[in-house]
Amino acid sequence: MLNERMEEALNEQINKEMYSSYLYLAMSAYSSSIGLPGFAHWFRVQVEEENIHAMKLFDYINNQGGRVKLKEIKEPPMEFGTPRSMFQQTLKHEQFVTRLIHELVDLARAEKDDNTVSFLQWYVDEQVEEEENDNEIIAKLIDVDDNKDALSELDAKLAKRLPPK
């Protein structure tokens, strides 16, 4: 059973995960608007991942006898600049989410909630992967610089990203 502090913090994390989904949907729309369908696809897959992250928390709260309390999702930006800038913003956002996850782990430990500490380990591991993916794409975008052919090639590669299982 979750205590009140843990339940509130997990509910807040659902909101952050749903905001992440909304942010990446905005990035997908922006990518489409600047003629990068592969980038748009990559971000649509990211939307699905963020929804899975939120639903895992949703189910965990329910399964632990807590109550899910959904909150308003703030509006994301609509403009993201260059593809490189967009992925730098993506990395910055994922680093923010990583800090939030670590704060949740710290809270669960302080509350002596071993079940939640164990549950959150999946998120800790997931955030390592998220940041690695963003750094890899940023490195490729640095190599691309202003080369339109290289950007088109990267766009085609990002179009091949598979949805989460």
Q: Which two tokens stand for residue 82?
A: 């260059």
pLDDT of 71: 96
> How much is the CA Rg of the chain, to the nearest whole Å?
17
pLDDT above 90 for 160: yes
pLDDT above 90 for 89: yes
CA distance 44 to 27: 9
pLDDT above 90 for 145: no
pLDDT of 62: 98
Number of domains in the chain: 1
Q: How many helices (H) and strands (E) does the chain have?
A: 5, 0
Residue percentage of the chain with pLDDT more than 90: 98
pLDDT of 15: 98
Q: State pLDDT tens for residues 47-68.
A: 999 999 999 999 999 999 999 9
Q: Is 76 part of a structural domain of the chain?
A: yes
pLDDT above 90 for 1: no
CA distance 117 to 36: 40
Structural domain boundaries enclosing 21: 4-158
pLDDT of 165: 81
CA distance 87 to 10: 27
Q: Is 163 part of a structural domain of the chain?
A: no
Q: Is 13 part of a structural domain of the chain?
A: yes
CB-based contact 81:39 (threshold 8 Å): no
pLDDT of 146: 84
pTM: 0.96
CATH of the domain at 57: 1.20.1260.10
Question: Smallest Cα–Cα separation from 42: which of 121, 124, 136, 142?
Answer: 136
Residue whose token pair is 């997990």? 10
Q: Is 83 part of a structural domain of the chain?
A: yes
Dihedral angle sign, alpha carbons of residues 16, 55, 76, 46: positive
Mean pLDDT value across the chain: 97
